[in-house]
Structure 1
Amino acid sequence: MSLNTGLSEEDRKSVAEGLSRVLADTYTLYLKTQNFHWNVTGPQFGQLHSLFEEQYDELRVAADDVAERIRALGHFAPGSYVQFAELKSVAEAPATPPASDDMIRQLAGDNETLSRVARSVLTAAENAGDEVTIDMMVERMAAHEKAAWMLRAHIQ
């Protein structure tokens, strides 16, 4: 059955490729944030444990939404660590968990990275006239900028 939503195949492919990068980074950040949630220690344990949980819960929902948008555009969503490793720009968590302040710095920087990646996909979506993806990327940028701010507030 053909797909005819008003976007060309070329535009859908371009946007889906960008969304695949967002998905890989989102999933990588999800896993890293959950890792830090499990392994945080120190005087801010309670606050950070809760904050990291809120953030990884939001990322889990976001990953599903992004993957489903890729499918709605008629493309397959990446879904393996191998694929994510090829697409991601967010660094994975180190084998030995860092100190809590370093966790915060890493996650803040990673959220800023994801905001920039989403911004690049926003541009591709604007060029394609893909309002659905535009809205999604604006939402993702807002979520990542807020998460980075909340993290930075713990060490400023």
Structure 2
Amino acid sequence: MADVNPKLSTPTDLNRNDTRSAADALNIALADCYALYIKTKNFHWHVSGPHFRDYHLLLDDQATQILEVTDAIAERVRKTGNTTLRSIGDIARRQQIADNDADFVAPDQMLAELREDNLKLVEALRDARERAEAANDTATSSLADDWIDQAEERAWFLFEASRKA
């Protein structure tokens, strides 16, 4: 990440050199959140079958939660004196969660893929939390705990919704 433009300088008691590693990890998690949000909305729009209504509502709720996290992550990066994502291209360069452009995905495959993607997001958030702790950035570490819990809950709900009777 390039040095922050002086016009974007943010007052903080944290050392920006120390927080840069955490900001880089948060930007990866943020890119993954956007990729996961789009994939979740894609599956929400294209789900079909006997559990349509349940899955449609579940995926919409999850997409809303993911989108809410994006702003909190980006603002945390800025509060530490760093910069965040600027474009779809920037997201594409950083995301670790793969897109799904298939014309049709069976509902059980949708749930399984989103479950695994949420668990990948947990890994990215744990990495960001560890880097924040190394930078003595307790606020980022604390927030990451909540984001991790939310992603784990989404993975759990997707797992339970995909169980066969």
Shorter chain as denominator, the TM-score bin is over 0.9
d(CA) in 1 for partners of 2:45, 2:143 = 29
TM-score relative to the length of structure 2: 0.90
Moved over 2 A (4+): 1-6
Structure 2, unaligned runs of 5 or more: 1-5
d(CA) in 2 for partners of 1:20, 1:78 = 7
Q: 1:97: how far off?
A: 3.1
User: Partner residue of 1:10?
Assistant: 17
User: Partner residue of 1:148?
Assistant: 155
Question: RMSD between aligned alpha carbons?
Answer: 1.3
Q: Is the 8 A contact 2:12 2:81 kept in 1?
A: no
Counterpart code for 1:80: S
- Taking only the aligned residue pairs, the percentage that are identical comes to 34
Q: Which residue, 41, 49, 65 being the options, matches 2:56?
A: 49
User: Partner residue of 1:127?
Assistant: 134
d(CA) in 2 for partners of 1:14, 1:132 = 15
Q: Does 1:40 align with 2:47?
A: yes
The secondary structure found in structure 2 opposite 1:153 is helix
Q: Which residue, 86, 90, 113 being the options, matches 1:83?
A: 90
Q: Which residue, 48, 59, 64 being the options, matches 2:71?
A: 64
Counterpart code for 1:155: S
Aligned residue pairs total 156
